[in-house]
Amino acid sequence: MANRALSMFGNAVRLKCPRCGVGRLYAGPFRMYPNCAHCGLTYEREQGYFVGAIYINYAATVLIAVPGFFLLDVFTGITIEQQLMIWVPFAIIFPLLFFHHSRSLWLALDHLFNPTKSVYTVPPKK
Ligand SMILES: [Zn+2]
């Protein structure tokens, strides 16, 4: 299980299919392939499937911004206005940059804990 989880996490970080690690997830900046070109795994299992990725994106943003705020407050003593000038743009820009990886991590996490849905695959095109 741990090796499988690490492998899937590695695939997610590289934006590859969680099952085979070969197929790419994205065709462009905002376009995801519907399924893996190598193994046929359907990426969006159902409508609204990637809502979970929003939670991952939000969690990553908060897990960086909140400790970052307190670390800067303790170690630099900068004003609250300066903190806001750092963390408000961060909270807007980081989720956009992390969009691909949050979907990829959600897909890997779901595939790790619920691989039985893999039956909903389409065969790769010949
Ligand atoms: Zn695949």
- What are the pLDDT digits (tens) for 68-91? 999 999 999 899 999 999 999 999
User: Rounded to the nearest whole angstrom, what is the distance from the C-alpha of residue 5 to the centroid of ligand 1?
Assistant: 15
User: Rounded to the nearest whole angstrom, what is the distance from the C-alpha of residue 35 to the centroid of ligand 1?
Assistant: 8
Query: What are the residues facing 42 on neighbouring strands?
Result: 35
> CA end-to-end span of the chain, whole Å?
32
Do residues 72 and 64 make contact, with C-beta atoms less than 8 angstroms apart?
no
Length of the chain, in residues: 126
Question: Residue 122's pLDDT is what?
Answer: 56
User: Rounded to the nearest whole angstrom, what is the distance from the C-alpha of residue 52 to the centroid of ligand 1?
Assistant: 20
User: Rounded to the nearest whole angstrom, what is the distance from the C-alpha of residue 77 to the centroid of ligand 1?
Assistant: 49
Do residues 125 and 36 make contact, with C-beta atoms less than 8 angstroms apart?
no
For 73, other C-beta atoms within 10 Å of its C-beta total 13
The one-digit pLDDT tens for each residue of the chain (126 residues) are 788 889 999 999 999 999 999 999 999 988 999 999 999 999 998 999 999 999 999 999 999 999 999 999 999 989 999 999 999 999 999 999 999 999 999 999 999 988 865 545 555 555
User: Rounded to the nearest whole angstrom, what is the distance from the C-alpha of residue 66 to the centroid of ligand 1?
Assistant: 36
User: Rounded to the nearest whole angstrom, what is the distance from the C-alpha of residue 43 to the centroid of ligand 1?
Assistant: 9
DSSP-assigned letter for residue 20: T
User: Rounded to the nearest whole angstrom, what is the distance from the C-alpha of residue 17 to the centroid of ligand 1?
Assistant: 5
Q: At what angle do helices 99-113 and 2-13 cross, to 10 degrees?
A: 160
By three-state DSSP, how is residue 77 classified?
coil
